[in-house]
Amino acid sequence: MTLTRRGMLKGSLWAVLLFFVMGAGVAGGVVAAYVRDLPPLDILEEYQPSLVTTLYDDQGKPFASFYEQRRILVPLDKIPRFLHEAIIAVEDSRFYQHYGLDPVGITRALWTNLNCLCLAEGGSTITQQLAKVLFFTPKKSLGRKFKEAMLVMRIERDLPKDRILELYFNQIYFGHGAYGIEAAAQTHFNKLVRDLNLAEAAMLAGLPRAPNSYSPILHPERARRRRHHALQRMVQERFITAEQAEAATKLPFTTATFAKGNNLAPYFVEYVRQYLEDKFGTYAVYHSGLQVYTTIKLKTQEAAALALRNGLQKLKKRKRVRLQTWLSFEEAPTEPPKVGETLEATVTGVTDDVLELQAGEYRGAVPLKEFTRAGLPEFHTRLEPGDQIPVRVVKRDENQIEVALELEPEIEGAFLVLDPRDGAIKAMVGGYDFQRSEFNRATQARRQPGSAFKPFVYATAFDMGMTPASIFEDSPVSYPMVIEDEIFEWTPENYDRKFRGPVTLRQGLEKSINIVAVKLIEQMGVEPVIQMARRLGIKSHLRPEFGLALGASEVSLLEMVSAYGIFATGGHRAEPYAIKKILDSKGVILEEWFAEPQLVLRPEVAFVLTHVLQGVVERGTGKQVKVLERPIAAKTGTTDKASDVWFIGYTPSLVAGVWIGYDIKRSLGPYATSSQLAVPIWIDFAQATLQGAPLEYFQVPEGVVPILANYRTGDPTTPDDPDAIQEYFIQGTEPQPTPIPVYQPLEFETRRDEPSRPTKIARPTKPSRERPSRTTPQPTTIHRSR
């Protein structure tokens, strides 16, 4: 019996042992299987995430970027120490003590969350979070959890803690398209990570747990509370003192999304993007981290965009919808908005009943029935959280403001600025609002330039030997035209329907007299004018007709502004360009632009024409520009029925042009002119851009002769002539003085007793002719009959 019991006990022990061995074998097999399925860690050593392509302005400052995941790599030693500590305090306080998995941290997080009945802390370590985003999908399963735990232990075994933390900082998502801490700093604070303060670091440290829920852009109050939690955790972990936390809490809570950088020059950014994709391909633009140094000058760009936007708003009355009163935020704004000021309000929510908005520290809700009452029942359906709409402050008291919704005008426009010396694009505004329409009216639109084309006709005339004093008859004229096999009479007219008789070419261009331009092109021929336009860089199709002199053929604003730049530089043309150089992510130059201006117009012709165009500002259709009190040459342009208005002006170092019109061609108004619509916008831009800049004068080239001439006749005159002006002629074309007879008394004429007197010089008379009457300067228009 004893032997039997012993045998049974022995057998049982062997059975248990065999069971454990078999279980261990099965477990080992399972572990081995999972280990074989684990991804290799070589990827961490060769870590090359998708990188951001960054655009820099002409001063080397970043202002826009392209990315699928907005990520900018930064080494750990460039990240402030208090940001290390903030992340560790919030996400994994025992990061430097555990080996990837932290039961103590899990227990503490569970207890904290139960106490506050919220998700204040998570149980995953920094290493676990890194493994999840690098190697696993969001799908959860027991098998994935097991793989994750094994991978975490391998990461901890193979990599030092600081390397793990560096990978985490560069990989984790911080909301609003920002991957990595550098992108997050720029997205939320428009700062480099090294420039963050403690309060900003604490706010960013609170984002990885729930980037959208704690977004300071979408949920500022929730983000503020999350920042306070991060600071308190830093105090608890003894990274900072309570006094430091309190001081950080009191710092102003403001954010400025880096995404707004693209809004500084969205049309220019898109113009550059299209070039980059054509040159390097889409993948390189969004993943390879190109460094693109552009020509844009942000101050000039801002001035152009603001002048155009304000001008278009003034040109067409905008609808306003009165909204309900908004209460201020918990903290009074440091600078309350002024009555009449326009604010950008952010949509924070859209419900069945109200539209929730926030403008700075002010928040409020607009009943949707207000939009119905205003005749805009579908307006709110186009909005979603994060969208921005302009509102104007109409009333303000101590702690609240009342605002009116500003709807956008239908009228469109474009503004373009170049440095004529090298062709660098300094500002590009392709429309009223890029979000409304991405069509770039500065480069893609082809519109009739009206009288803005006339300088090309006059340049041809001066190049062929005519002068500003050449006389043409401003009188009625008609030309037969064949349209669809039918013959019509085309009778060009002046804007004011008046005829002035004999006028000089200077008067013809300054006053924008249509008849003179048409007779000029008739005398020279259309082909020489087309050839001149081609030399000046006009590539658009130009119809061979007399109407070309009045801007009947469509061209782009970029072509026109670039061509005027040739007059500014004394005949040298530089191809317009937007990119100075392109580097790869390692700093190797892939492409570099060197301006090579070429002489395409005789300097004498360019100067004489510029001097006449200065007269447009001094006495002609652009005389409002005299307010700038500096040398400027310019030309207005208004087309038939005022469907397009232009104004292009230049100094020796800047050429800028503005176009105004509707996308679908229609009249801007029965009395609309360039002087009324385009010139004020150009002046607003110039005042902001040229204020304080030294005066620049157009240099007189060799081969140009100055002569004092009568403005009305073009004849040489004397300083005491009230109509005398300084006129310039190309050498060889200047008027030759008529031999002046010396006075000799006749024999029967009684002489005076004086022994002698100075010789009297008599100016020869010319046949009398009716002088043109002075009229109020008006821009030109095209009149074409069918």
CB atoms within 10 A of CB 748: 5
Alpha helices in 136-180 (DSSP H): 142-158, 161-171
Q: Which residue among 65, 85, 91, 166 is the active-site one?
A: 91
Measured over the CA atoms of residue 556, residue 558, residue 563 and residue 567, the dihedral's sign is positive
Structure tokens at 468: 């500003």
Please choose, from the candidates 557, 596, 556, the residue with its C-alpha nearest in 3D space to the C-alpha of residue 573: 596
Please choose, from the candidates 645, 651, 633, the residue with its C-alpha nearest in 3D space to the C-alpha of residue 679: 645
Bridge partners of 572, per DSSP, are 599
The label of the residue with tokens 């278009």 reads 312
Ramachandran area for residue 571 (φ above 0: left; ψ -120 to 50: alpha; else beta): left
C-alpha 297/C-alpha 303 separation (Å) is: 10
Question: Pairing relation of β-strands 70-71 and 178-179?
Answer: parallel
Which DSSP helix (H) or strand (E) runs through 657?
A: strand 654-661
Structure tokens at 6: 């012993």
Which DSSP helix (H) or strand (E) runs through 11?
A: helix 2-37
- DSSP class per residue in 508-535: HHHTT-HHHHHHHHHHH-HHHHHHHHHH
**What are the residues whose beta carbons fall under 8 Å from the beta carbon of 19, sequence distance 6 or more?**
none
Residue 91 bears catalytic tag:
yes
C-alpha 621/C-alpha 635 separation (Å) is: 8
- Please check whether residue 403 is in contact with residue 391, taking contact to mean a CB–CB distance below 8 angstroms: yes
C-alpha 609/C-alpha 595 separation (Å) is: 25
- Three-state secondary-structure class, residue 56: strand
**What are the residues whose beta carbons fall under 8 Å from the beta carbon of 785, sequence distance 6 or more?**
488, 489, 490, 491
Q: Which residue among 65, 451, 556, 675 is the active-site one?
A: 451
C-alpha 468/C-alpha 242 separation (Å) is: 80
Residue 540 bears catalytic tag:
no
Query: Residues with catalytic annotation?
Result: 91, 451
